[in-house]
Structure 1
Amino acid sequence: MWYIAVAAGSFRRYATYRIATVAGVFTNTVFGFIVAFTYIALWDERPHLGGYDQAQALAFVWTGQALLATTGLMGGGGLDELQERIRTGDIAVDLYRPADLQLWWLAADLGRAGLQLIGRGVVPMAVGALAFPLALPGDAPTWGGFLLSVLLGVLVSFTLRYLVALASFWLLDGAGLALISGLACMFFSGMLLPLRVFPGALGEVAQLLPWAAILQVPADVLVGARSGGAVLGGLVFQAAWAVALLALGRLVQSAATRKVVVHGG
């Protein structure tokens, strides 16, 4: 119940930023149109690029815009606050709380992601569906698989951003690492271009990296590029990365906590 309250509080907190949410919806929608017209030109030249038809490619575009803030694809996503608390030393207060640090921030991130999915995800997707012929599913099980995949994508994204935030225990300023991490996520998640389009070994390796679990897998589930057993395989892939990175975050957190104690924090 403690962590549910944290998630609910985080949801309410982000719900108060109404102007920022509206601005985000506008930005996502504008960029959605820009990328969509770029994809139309590209798929007109190569109609089945990456195994997608044009309707699937356009659905991929708008899925990326809908999940951009939800999954924290550009980094931050609330964990920039954790970085700042580490830098200022306020993290010592957090460690005195009768709650696990990792689970606390995970609950807060899930609350944030829920608000962003509703506030900044639904409208851009709806606008895209009205303006373009999108390959969206018409059955509830596919939508359910997509939402489950989004949840796992948020978990994987959190674990990566949490590791970046914890690096601030050893760095004087973690902003540079956060920027590099955000760029890597944008490129290897499929946000710029679906990973199936990447040539040769680059595409094969990119689809095995944890960033692929954040957007590429959920988008493939939604547009029908994954079906049947492939959907289950994608969910297992996401869950495996989430568990592995949560465990790694736990180890790094333990080492960081010892560092705080050693330095009298």
Structure 2
Amino acid sequence: MRVYLTAARLSFRRYITYRSAAFAGAITNTAFGFIRAYILLAMWHEKPQIGTYDAADAVTYVFLTQGLITPIGIFVGSTELGPRIRTGEVATDLYRPCDFQLWFLATDLGRALAGLLLRTVPPVVVGVLALPTRLPTSPRRWLEFALCCALALVISFAIRYLVSLSAFWTLDERGTASLLLVVSMFFSGMIIPLVVMPGWLGSLARALPWSATLQVPIDVLLGTETNGFAGALTFQAAWAVLLVALGRAVTLAARHKTVVQGG
């Protein structure tokens, strides 16, 4: 366990170094938050209640998603493993006396914690001060939200890890990562809340693992999750276990398919 904590700590120190870039990113996230918020306010002006959301819920949702973009890794198509496969450095990783998958999960955790400190708070605080929002005051609700966000990170990592592993066969995961970015933005609720999606499309979006990365944790915080906290946690845990197990299986297969470009 100590080696993974060290990996997470060193990754955190590396990502926390780029404070100027993080500050610029926080400003950008906040600006886009206002653009998205006013678009949704126009929608809710025409229909004051959509699904389980009212206008205040929609605005709160926007700024929370803007704050979670970096920690959850919505705009990150793969993990640090992908480039290392392309360069051949993965050969060193395979010889480390630790679990291959857990090592990269630990480094991703360090990245997420740095993003949480540098880029999550500003969009949420500015949004709350500028527009009508609805954040709960119950400590229990915030604890439930934190647990859901932890599982959301595991799910996001597991998906991006699988994309990174594809480089063992294709030698370059960037095409797959670009496709994942589009799918992730749409089905996570990053573009619009999934409550807006009608009929079978909405049902499909809510059933896919991407909904567990943004929509489900925020619904738990807002108290709009139809299945409650227990149902949300069960849904997330099921996808986390399935995707991590799939990642372990693919990792085992990839060990027999290691190809270093040029040799």
State TM-score, norm by structure 1: 0.95
Give the 3-state SS of the residue equivalent to 1:134 in structure 2. coil
- Counterpart check, 1:109 vs 2:108: yes
Task: Please list, as runs of the form range in 1=range in 2, the aligned pairs for 1:47-126 lying within 5 A after superposition.
Answer: 47-76=48-77, 79=79, 81-126=80-125
Count of residue pairs the alignment pairs up: 262
- Matches for 1:94-243 after TM superposition, within 5 Å: 94-226=93-225, 230-243=228-241
Aligned equivalents of 1:117, 1:173: Cα separation in 2 = 29
Aligned residue number for residue 45 of structure 1:
46
Is contact 1:67–1:121 with CA below 8 Å preserved after alignment?
Answer: yes
- Mapped contact 2:82–2:165 kept (Cα < 8 A): yes
Could you give the per-residue CA deviations for residues 217-236 of structure 1, whole angstroms, max 9, x where no partner exists? 01101222127x61111011
Q: Any conservation in 1 of the 2:88–2:260 contact (CA below 8 Å)?
A: no
2:46 and 2:234 mapped to 1: Cα distance? 35
Contact 1:75–1:179 (CA under 8 A) maintained in structure 2: no
CA offset digits 1:124-148 (Å, max 9, x no partner): 1001100011110011000000111
Where 2:233 maps in the other structure, the secondary structure is helix
Match of 1:4 in 2: 5
CA contact (8 A) 1:166 1:256 kept: yes
User: Does the 8 A contact of 2:187 with 2:205 survive in 1?
Assistant: yes
1:65 and 1:14 mapped to 2: Cα distance?
19
Instruction: Describe how 1:8-27 pairs up with structure 2 within 5 A.
Output: 8-27=9-28
SS at match of 2:134: coil
Report how far residue 101 of structure 1 moved: 1.2
- CA 1:51–1:19: 2 relative to 1, 3 Å: same
Whole-angstrom CA distance in 1 between matches of 2:117 and 2:216: 20
Q: How many percent identity over aligned positions?
A: 51
Query: C-alpha displacement at 1:56, in angstroms?
Result: 0.5
How many Å separate the matches in 2 of 1:118 and 1:238? Answer: 24
Any idea what SS the aligned residue of 1:97 has? coil
What are the superposed Cα offsets for residues 147-204 of structure 1, whole Å, 9 maximum, x if unpaired? Answer: 1111110000000000000001111321111000011000000111111211101101
Which range moved further: 181-190 or 113-122? 113-122
- How far apart are the structure 1 equivalents of 2:73 and 2:17? 19
Gaps of 5+ in 2: none
Q: Does the 8 Å contact 1:157/1:211 carry over to 2?
A: yes
AA partner of residue 144 (structure 2): G
4+ aligned runs moved over 6 Å, structure 1: none
Structure 1 gap ranges (5+): none
CA distance in 1, matches of 2:25, 2:151: 23
- Structure 1 distance, partners of 2:247, 2:169, is 15
Is contact 1:149-1:235 (8 Å) kept?
A: yes
